[in-house]
Amino acid sequence: MAEGDLKLLGFFTSPFAIRVRMVLEQKGLSYEYLEEDLTNKSELLLKHNPIYKKVPVLIHGDRSICESLVILQYIDENWSGSGPPLLPADPYERAIARFWAAYIDEKFVESFWGILKAGREETKAEKIADSIGVLKQLEEVFKKCSAGTGKGFFGGDTIGFIDVTLGSQLAWMKAIEKISGAKLLDETNIPLLMEWVNRFLAIDFVKSILPNVERVAEVGRVFQATIWKVDLAK
């Protein structure tokens, strides 16, 4: 199947679609990006992801691949000769990368989105503490990944599976800081990880793909207001 048959269905603030775009760019692959209106989902989205009806969806010819981490692995394996590898060659190291990527999506995303959902100050403080705790854990992971090597990313000299999983969340982290007043990205708590953040954000294709933080914050405020209205109505 030709590379030119690639389409990606996404939404501009979706970190899960953003990470797929990053890997497509890093691999140097040509693709058509189709922005979805999530309040009025397209027939194309409903056809290619009838189970979850959400983005991202990678369409490769007549094949549909859903769920961002699955899509990343598909791209890495299908275009192994294009660009740097996303996952390590060693089976154990591949398993470790998958583990921490899942940890970010399951534990960290839940905690920092919980800051927006929190309706009481004590609940918000708890979610902020949870998020900081996870970031400190990831600081230790990065320390182990780069120990004695001088490498700048979780994936080595170039961004890998863990890097794009976490890096795709940076615009939302900064937006949630802006909305809530929380300080998540703090050099005092995570000095090595903050160096990683600066290196990651300096990459050209990352800068071109990550959305404006204020625009993300606008979406976050709407989401927060909607959640609070639902809570008040219960």
Query: Residue 57: which region, alpha, beta or left (left: phi > 0; alpha: psi -120 to 50)?
Result: beta
Report pLDDT digits (tens) over 126-167. Answer: 999 999 999 999 999 999 888 656 789 998 889 999 999 999
| Long-range CB contacts (within 8 A, 24+) of 208-212 | 208/25, 209/18, 209/21, 209/22, 209/25, 210/18, 210/168, 210/170, 210/171, 211/12, 211/13, 211/18, 211/171, 212/171
Please check the confidence at residue 124 and state whether its pLDDT lies above 70.
Answer: yes
Residue with tokens 């501009």: 12
- CA 222 from chain centre, in angstroms, equals 20
Residues pairing with 6 in the sheet: 60
At residue 80, φ and ψ (nearest 5 deg) are -65, -25
What's the CA gap between 26 and 166, in Å, rounded? 16
Tell me what pLDDT residue 69 has. 98
Q: Are 155 and 103 in contact (CB under 8 A)?
A: no
Q: How confident is the model at residue 225 (pLDDT cuts 50, 70, 90)?
A: confident
Q: Are 34 and 10 in contact (CB under 8 A)?
A: yes
Of 149 and 233, which is predicted with more confidence? Answer: 149
According to CATH, what is the number of the domain 91-232?
Answer: 1.20.1050.10
Tell me what pLDDT residue 232 has. 35
Tell me what pLDDT residue 234 has. 32
Sequence spans of domains, the chain: 3-78, 91-232
What's the CA gap between 70 and 72, in Å, rounded? 5
For residue 133, what are the contacts with CB-CB under 8 A and spacing of at least 6?
111
Give exposure, 206-229, as e/b (b: 16+ Cβ within 10 Å).
beebbbebeebbebbeeebeeeee
Give the class (CATH, top level) of 3-78: alpha beta
Report pLDDT digits (tens) over 40-86. Answer: 999 999 999 999 999 999 999 999 999 999 999 999 999 999 999 99
Please check the confidence at residue 231 and state whether its pLDDT lies above 50.
Answer: no
Q: Are 49 and 64 in contact (CB under 8 A)?
A: yes
